[in-house]
Structure 1
Amino acid sequence: MADIADFANDLVQERLDQALAARNAAKPALVAHSFLFCEGCDEPIPELRRLALPGCTRCVRCQSIDEWRESRHAQ
């Protein structure tokens, strides 16, 4: 059975969620710039990849290897 403390906690959580949502909505969108060269192998990152994925720091090959390592580590 819920008591007054549970209701108060729910109300506080709801207000915090609303405040955070409003704060995040008010933030200007950050424009991420892509690297020209891969941070893994120092090869140039193709322009189409940089345009399609703003903020990328790795070439497709290095990104694939990194994601594979992360998936193996998560298991």
Structure 2
Amino acid sequence: MAGGWSRDGAIQEQIDASVDEAVQRARSQLTNGDSAVNCEECDQIIPEQRRKAIPGVRLCVACQSALEKQETQAGGINRRGSKDSQLR
């Protein structure tokens, strides 16, 4: 049951859309193909176990961790859930 200005099911639709976008973003970041032997950032050798475990890997563990840390720090704002987007 929705209240106020929203219709029934609107909140669930927003949640579903946010989850769908997150899944699509994660799928677009998956690697495939041949793995690199050397890291594209630091030129260190990527261990064979990592290359076998993650097809198409391009970065060593240290560089991949640094990249993921940057991405999470840059995090975006969920505009669907913000009050500003609901007022416009």
Residue 36 of structure 1 and its aligned partner are, at CA, apart by 0.3
Alpha-carbon displacement from aligned partner over 1:20-73 (angstroms, at most 9, x marks no partner) = xxxxxxxxxxx6100000001000000000000000000000000000000001
**Aligned pairs, how many?**
45
Q: TM-score, normalised by structure 1?
A: 0.57
More helix by share: 1
Tell me if 1:32 matches 2:33.
yes
List, as ranges, runs of 4+ consecutive aligned residues in structure 1 with deviation greater than 2 Å.
none
TM-score between the two structures when normalised by the length of structure 2: 0.49
User: What stretches of structure 1 of length at least 5 have no aligned partner?
Assistant: 1-30
Of all paired residues, the percent bearing the same amino acid is: 44
Q: Provide the residue aligned with 1:56 in structure 2.
A: 57
Choose 1 or 2 for highest CA Rg.
1
